[in-house]
Structure 1
Amino acid sequence: MYKLLIRKIFGTKNERDLKKLQPYASAINELEPHIKKLDNNQIRVKTAEFREKLNQGATLDDVLIEAYAVVREVAKRTINMRHF
């Protein structure tokens, strides 16, 4: 009984996790049109840019959103699947 009430108020663990990740997914989706326009060579350059940023002290969180957008586009081009 109490568990049901708490779940209704706060949601399930899964729902709370999804709520935390939604801003990331939205930001990645916003980059899709821009990343889609890049050719394969430009995507390779992006990968090198990520490495350079990380070597210069950027954190993984600093490149996370753009890197995921690039990975999704590459997957779409190579295996014909649009992830997440």
Structure 2
Amino acid sequence: MSFWRRLFGDENLAALRAAEPIVAAANGFEEAMKALSDEALRAKTEEFRKRLEEGIARGLSESTMLAELAPEAFAAVREASRRTLGQRHFDV
């Protein structure tokens, strides 16, 4: 390990650690996403848009709303990919 890496840490490792709570939250939605019909899964996109707009209308910032929606949106994308490609995205 280089001197600089020991001194400042590994940026990639730091990014992975920062993403762990989002990954864990997305994993919490996995079974619910699997249970959705194809049509219901497609409808999630519009639901996310509506929830984003409603949150902004309530005075929440766009970044706050996106952070709130991210785990469920990631779970929906992962499930759509699983159904389309037959492969589940890695958690990382």
- Percent identity, aligned pairs only, is 36
Using the TM superposition, name which of 21-30 and 53-62 deviates more: 53-62
TM-score (norm 2): 0.75
What is the correspondence of 1:70-81 to structure 2 with a 5 Å cutoff?
70-81=76-87
In structure 1, stretches of 5+ residues that fail to align are none
Aligned length: 81
In structure 2, stretches of 5+ residues that fail to align are 57-61
Q: Which has the higher contact order (CA 8 A, sep 6+)?
A: 2
Distance 1:77 1:48 in 2: 19
Distance 1:24 1:16 in 2: 14
**Secondary structure of the corresponding residue to residue 82 of structure 1:** coil
| Aligned-partner residue type, residue 53 of structure 2 | N
1:36-84 residue CA offsets vs partner (Å, 9 max, x unmatched): 1111111122222111112222621121110110000000001112113
Distance 2:53 2:45 in 1: 12
What CA RMSD, in Å, does the superposition of the two structures yield over aligned residues?
1.9
Q: Which residue of 1 aligns with 2:4?
A: 3
TM-score (norm 1): 0.81
Distance 2:6 2:71 in 1: 35
Distance 1:76 1:35 in 2: 11
Distance 2:29 2:89 in 1: 14
